[in-house]
Every structure is written in structure tokens, then in C-alpha cells.
A = this chain, B = another copy of it.
């Protein structure tokens, strides 16, 4: 069996979705936050894949499900989900991704495949440490850190249909 991270290999993805939604419900209950139908629906759509989706992609998916929403609806749901730590914004893509470490205190790093668009979230302590140290060396107080790596995932290195 391959040691690849989930997004990079075929797997029972409906389990990912179920797990993510279950975690979200638990987390929101614990935080007294309301995971309303709209918010849950947006989260479910985000979890349909391991790719980052744009707000307007989500809007279109909502429309397909019969939920005719306007942009603020989606952005508000995304704001909520981000505040709860259930979703990350991938700034270099203007897109959103389900968080794989919901509830844990973390500041993720993202490996973005430019071919298949799948995104893997890491929480490598060495990276956080190195960034923290470099900031401290400049007497800079870091509050939030964006680390996004663009490249090719293991699967796409082999498959060859890219460059």
C-alpha cells in the first residue's frame, strides 16, 4: 500500500465527507456555534473533493441543488466556517478547502498540485518554527502565516499529462 496522503490516491471519499461533517457538528456544538443548513450544505460541497473551490463554484453547486443563493450567502457561510476552523482559504487560488485538522490549533501549510488541483494540508512544526524564528529575528510579531506551495503531487509526477 502506498504511503501517499489521502488526496493523492483513490479512497472511499464519502467517508471523508461523513467524517468532516460529523467533526463539524461536534465542534460547533462544543463552541455553541450554529451549523445551520446553509452552512452545512456549503461545507458538504467543499468536501466533495480535495480541491479548493472558488466561492462562485460553490454558488453554482448550490444552484444545482436548487438553493438559489446570491454571493453574500456563500461568503457568509465561508466566513463562519473559517472562523470555526472548518475551512481554509487558499489565498493564491482565491479558493476554499475543507480543513483536515478541524478543532486542532494549527496553522497549516498547503501543497497545491497545479495539474490535478488537489491540495494537501500539512502542519509541519519545522516550517512553523522556521517562519517564527525568521520573523522573530526581525523583531516582527507574527499573527498569521500563509504557506502555499505550488507544484506537482506524486500522482501527477507519474501520469505525465502536464507541464
**Residues of A82-140 whose CB lies within 8 A of B:** 91-92, 109, 111, 113-114, 120, 122, 124, 126-127, 129-131, 133-135, 137-140
Chain copies in the assembly?
2
Contact status A149-B130, CB under 8 Å: no
Report yes or no: A154 in contact with B140, Cβ–Cβ below 8 A: yes
Q: Give which listed residue, B8, B114, B127, contacts A131 with CB less than 8 A.
A: B127
Return the contact of A127 from the options B4, B134, B144 (Cβ within 8 A). B134
Contact A145 B141 (CB under 8 A): no
* Contact yes or no, B144 A145, CB < 8 A: no
Q: Decide if A124 touches B130 in the complex (CB within 8 Å).
A: yes
A53 at the interface (CB under 8 A from B): no
Are A151's CB and B144's CB within 8 A? yes
A138 → chain B, closest Cβ, in Å?
Answer: 6
Q: What 0/1 pattern do residues 134 to 160 of A give for CB contact below 8 A with B?
A: 110111111111111111111001000
> How far, in whole Å, are A4 and B5 apart by their CA atoms in the complex?
41
Check A134 against B124 for contact (C-beta < 8 Å): yes
**Contact assessment for A126 and B122 in the assembled complex, using a CB-CB cutoff below 8 Å:** no
Mark A residues whose CB is within 8 Å of B: 4-5, 8, 91-92, 109, 111, 113-114, 120, 122, 124, 126-127, 129-131, 133-135, 137-154, 157
